[in-house]
Amino acid sequence: MENLTNINVIKNIMERHGFSFSKSLGQNFLVNPSVCPKIAEMGNASEGWGVLEIGAGIGVLTNELAKRADKVAVIEIDGRLIPILKETLAEHNNIEVINEDVMKADLAGIIKENFAGLKVAVCANLPYYITSPVIMLLLESRLPIDSITVMVQKEAGKRICAGMGTREAGAVTAAVRYYSEPKMLFDVSRGSFMPAPNVDSCVIRLDVRKEPAVHVKDEKLFFRTVRGAFSQRRKNLANSLSSSLGMPKELVSAAIAEAGLAENVRPEQLSLEELAAVSDSIAKYL
């Protein structure tokens, strides 16, 4: 098989198929040969595993996944890439290419059809414009997924993997930690892509928990509380929650006190357990 990280090989494929990069679909293809094998190895692509990939591009990561895992299903939105993938993935018989938008695809059905009896990993070099929505979709849908290993912009990766109670923590930190244990794996420079983006990237892995990290009375309210708490980072918790939940400040203050916290506590100081306690006491006042 041709080397899909070789720029001349890529240019040749693109020319033969009349393909040009779409910026709006986040098409920055990996050309650093060491990155895809590392994502595949650290992302659980191995015997006994099925891997769901999001965004095939010309199949550079797909090939590395298919060499190691029992089965690969890859979702690619851009129909122009499908004939290219037929060519570049031809030597594998364990790959299913699905021409759909990941945000609209029947992920539960795809997993059921392709990965019966296998553990399931997601591996992807995610298109930047939908990084957080894809991660939250995968976690919130409660799909039978064991791990999610994704390339994201470095800033997004730092925010997702930040510790609770640190300045970098945000709503996405809390939401991701509720469902999984995040880990920063390695950095990838902008020069590893064609075309090169304006920012560096990193690869993170989320090991999905069997049970959420904290038990809450009302999950929807918990996520509203999390989003509300971090919505106005310079305000204290009582003010942020009062305006985001549309509740009188006295009631929010009472709920915060009941959760054992000071009214002027700042959202980024809170642990997941404390956010859960606040949301549980707010539930009583709604």
| 76 contacts 55 by C-beta, under 8 angstroms | yes
Find the shortest distance in angstroms from Cβ 137 to ligand SAM.
Answer: 10
By CB under 6 A, what part of segment 19-48 binds ligand SAM? 25-30
Q: Does residue 14 bind ligand SAM (CB under 6 A)?
A: no
Alpha helices in the chain (DSSP H): 7-17, 35-42, 60-68, 82-88, 107-114, 131-140, 154-161, 171-179, 219-229, 237-245, 249-258, 272-285
Q: Which of the residues 78 through 97 are near ligand SAM (CB under 6 A)?
A: 78
Contact partners, residue 23, CB within 8 Å, separation at least 6? none
71-75 vs 95-98, strand pairing mode: parallel
Which residue's beta carbon is nearest to the bound ligand SAM? 55
CA distance 2 to 213: 45
Q: Pick from 10, 52, 60, 237: which binds ligand SAM (CB under 6 A)? A: 60
For the CB of residue 121, give the shortest distance to ligand SAM in the complex, in Å.
15
Q: Which of 10, 40, 45, 56 is close enough to bind ligand SAM by CB under 6 A?
A: 56
- Would you put residue 18 in left (φ > 0), alpha (ψ -120 to 50) or beta? left
Under rule CB under 6 A, residue 76 binds ligand SAM: yes
Q: Is 106 in the site for ligand SAM (CB under 6 A)?
A: no
**Applying CB under 6 A, which part among 49-57, 199-207, 209-217, 239-247 lies near ligand SAM?**
49-57
Q: Decide whether 27 or 242 has the Cβ nearer to ligand SAM.
A: 27
Among residues 50, 127, 228, 267, the one that binds ligand SAM under rule CB under 6 A: 127
- Residue 77 as a binder of ligand SAM (CB under 6 A): the answer is yes
Q: Does 57 bind ligand SAM (CB under 6 A)?
A: yes
Q: What is the DSSP letter of 199?
A: S
> Which segment (72-80, 243-251, 253-261, 272-280) binds ligand SAM by CB under 6 A?
72-80
Length of the chain: 286
**245-248 contacts: CB < 8 A, separation 24 or more?**
245/282, 247/282, 247/285, 247/286
Q: Which residue has the tokens 């991701």?
A: 176
Dist. CA 19–CA 1, nearest whole Å: 20
Instruction: Pick between residue 90 and residue 103 the one whose CB is nearest to ligand SAM.
Output: 103
Give the Cα separation of 116 and 237 in Å (integer): 46
Q: Using CB under 6 A, which of the segments 9-17, 76-84, 210-218, 232-240 binds ligand SAM?
A: 76-84
Residue ranges in contact with ligand SAM by CB under 6 A: 25-30, 54-57, 60-61, 75-78, 101-103, 125, 127, 130
